[in-house]
Structure 1
């Protein structure tokens, strides 16, 4: 289990380091203004779907269904054709009607800014077909317990964007956004290419090819399986995407605030996503195939043992990340972004937003772990109900906090919505099962260690600040 977790974590870390380099260069080139807001809006929707697909919903429904299928090759071909057809049609519609898509994503933008942003929205959206194909092939690789390709491939997107920024040096800010947008699509193409190579090297290309070859002949034999998959997918997609939809909602509402607000949310969320992806998402991806197999074989005791190990692994790492991220928020934002067009005022505003996000790191991360249990037991509908209530809470808090607190209020609203989702997930998982996990000496170690770590950081905070300066 831990080997797979470390493979995912190292791949994600490598990608996120490049991602921070990309963000550093983007902040320096664009700062926090209308052009940076336009690019982040343009990239938001395909990136939202990437997170929904790549970090949970599709994989968590596909792997159990694929494992149970009696005609796996035909099943995977059928599912791929359905999804890729819908996504390509959607991408064509966005290309034809980019203004409408832009207005949906940033309702607060003026007509002039919508007109300016629309071409970038159309270009960026073509990342989505590539990333779905990547997720589809990645799910097959995960079933075969091959995680490295998917874990490391995200770095290719960041490399593509870094190259775009280097090539656009000394260009106008509008031209830089064009370079970045085409870099997004090129990054998706490169990610797909390495997954095809991995599929070929593992000898799975014949399986994929055979599925398409015999699809028409054997499609009736998988009718029941595909119907069940469709019924489970949409609740799973909704149930697994609360944090992504919340982030999208933040961006939508932030379009009504002053210029730069979308960028403050983006930069701080990128920092927040590092420990979430590095620890929680990496652990979930690595753990899910094993949990699903044990529950399928009615061996819940072994599945629970795996879950307990992962829980304490995450609890310690996420707690340390939360404390460090909150106390050192100013130093982190300053060290990463304050240069070029990104000013000291931008650092202060981004810091507060980051602190509001960091409060919710522990519940968001641990919820992903317990959601695995619900998905493995095919309780996608329960997960969807939890997501709906959590999102509803987020909307209420956002409307309450946006006027007095601005962008930081939106971040706090998302965090509070995350707490609601976590408590509801624990209730669905079983409060008794949860407290059985907590009934351990590790709980005492976690509490005492957290207090000591907080004290040490507060004592040495000024020293760390001077060191970074």
Structure 2
């Protein structure tokens, strides 16, 4: 089951990321790395941040265990979905009405004329926040039934919608292209929701929602044993959700803070971070997010049934798989950083100097790939035991350390200091989550002498092969 779920996730994520790279290549060619690309990335940053938090973190890791334990699942799911949807609708309307204020918060270092340009674009993109919550909510319900492909493939629809918007706007000026991209984001979100309808119908969720809707009022208003159980489930979810909001989102929040700090640097800095982080996210999503998403329901159910040994064995297999995959990606990415950025982005408005800086940022991001990936495996133990508060504490420590380091390193290293501080924060998070497992559980997972020997052998062979490739490519990269 784990292998099937992983391949379903990873294949979908790969498809989505390939579409995403085509989108980014098209975007880099159309907008380059300058004020207009910075405006779009600032506008898209907040909804994209929440997409990662909701889709890959806090909501799923809080809702799924609560849904598993909930006595009245239909009523519980309908209530949680309705509460979040209403709150996000109100928030989106507020951002729409006061978009200059929120734009200033997102990019405080922008001059006023750029704030005015960006404000309506921020308002358009913010509607994706509501859409992506609905996507995440529906995907999490399907994960309970071990249906992972919808969650994995739906992001491809967002990327395809944005590619279509870029194609439609190819003859327009750069500001109009940014507007078309923003409308493409909203259209993509609607398409993502639509993809869930058939599997939800097939597994009976529409019928469950319809029947639960007639009893919703009774559970919320009428006092009694059922009401008390239902309210306890709702309170239990929110007690887990708010700590998990921080605990599962360190990398995303750090990236958000980096964008804010980078707004004080020269134009193009936000774009360098974005393009480099996009490639960094590929192996993280393809391996770490795919395996942890597939693993989480299994670990949560095993721990609920007091099968801790079974949970640890599943985590050990995932841990060593990630070690091999992410170590090989890290070494390859660092050695070929210049070539990768050149191949993907250097065309049109994206210059050779843009390639050079983006490659350096990318290499520094990759230093944190392994710790961020392995932290996702270790954190499953905390979330499955409903220890979201402890996970949040560790994440807060990592976040504060990363932010302080960003402020320290930005002066001598500029945009490179932001990427390096992010990687250091990843190591801090990994150490804290490993500590939370306990000494016995930690060594149970990491002890594997044959795997360690094989890993170092493969890294040596990869390094030798890539060194030869770099020699052959010399002279082609300008």
> Do Structure 1 and Structure 2 share a fold, with TM-score over 0.5?
yes
Indicate the residue corresponding to 1:27 in structure 2: 28
If the length of structure 2 is used for normalisation, what is the TM-score?
A: 0.96
Task: In structure 2, list runs of 5 or more residues that go unmatched.
Answer: 221-226
Equivalent residue, structure 1, for 2:181: 180
1:210 positional shift: 2.2
- Is contact 2:9-2:149 (8 Å) kept? yes
**Mapped partners of 2:213, 2:266: distance in 1:** 51
Whether 1:109 aligns to 2:118 is no
- Structure 2 counterpart of 1:152: 153
Give the aligned length: 469
Say yes or no: does 1:343 pair with 2:344.
no
Task: Find 1:328's aligned residue among 323, 336, 351.
Answer: 336
180-189 or 215-224, which moves further after superposition?
A: 215-224
Contact residue 322 and residue 359 of structure 1 kept, 8 A: yes
Q: Does the 8 Å contact 2:320/2:446 carry over to 1?
A: no
Counterpart position of 1:287: 295
The answer to whether the Cα contact below 8 Å between 1:99 and 1:114 also exists between their aligned partners in 2 is yes
| Residue 462 of structure 1, CA deviation | 2.1
- Which residue matches 2:425? 417
**Corresponding residue of 1:357:** 365
After superposition, give the CA deviation of every residue in 1:164-220 in whole Å (9 maximum; x if it has no partner).
Answer: 000001100000000000000000000001112321122221112222332111233
Deviation digits for residues 259-318 of structure 1 (CA, Å, limit 9, x no counterpart): 000000000000000000000000011000000000000000111111111111111000
The aligned counterpart of 1:454 is: 463
Residue in structure 2 matching 1:231, options 221, 224, 239: 239
Q: 1:114 to 1:465 in 2, by over 3 A?
A: same
Instruction: Tell me by how many angstroms 1:466 deviates.
Output: 6.6
Aligned to 1:118: 119
Q: 1:138: which partner in 2? A: 139
Q: Secondary structure at the match of 2:421?
A: helix
Say whether the 8 Å CA contact 2:312–2:441 is kept in structure 1.
no
Assess if the C-alpha contact under 8 Å between 2:313 and 2:445 holds in 1.
Answer: no
> Matched residue of 1:32: which SS?
coil
Deviation at 1:457? Answer: 1.4
Shift of 1:57: 1.1
C-alpha displacement at 1:458, in angstroms? 1.6
With normalisation by structure 1, the TM-score equals 0.98
Partner of 1:444: 453
CA shift, 1:467, in A, is 8.0
Mapped contact 2:88–2:130 kept (Cα < 8 A): yes
Moved over 6 A (4+): 466-469
- Structure 1 position 160, deviation (Å): 0.1
Pair 200,466 (structure 1): closer, same or farther in 2 beyond 3 Å? farther
Q: 2:3 and 2:145 mapped to 1: Cα distance?
A: 16
* CA contact 1:4–1:147 (8 Å) conserved in 2: yes
Residue 195 of structure 2 aligns to a residue whose secondary structure is: helix
- Paired with 1:15 and 1:56, the residues of 2 have a C-alpha distance of 18
Alpha-carbon deviation of 1:114?
0.5
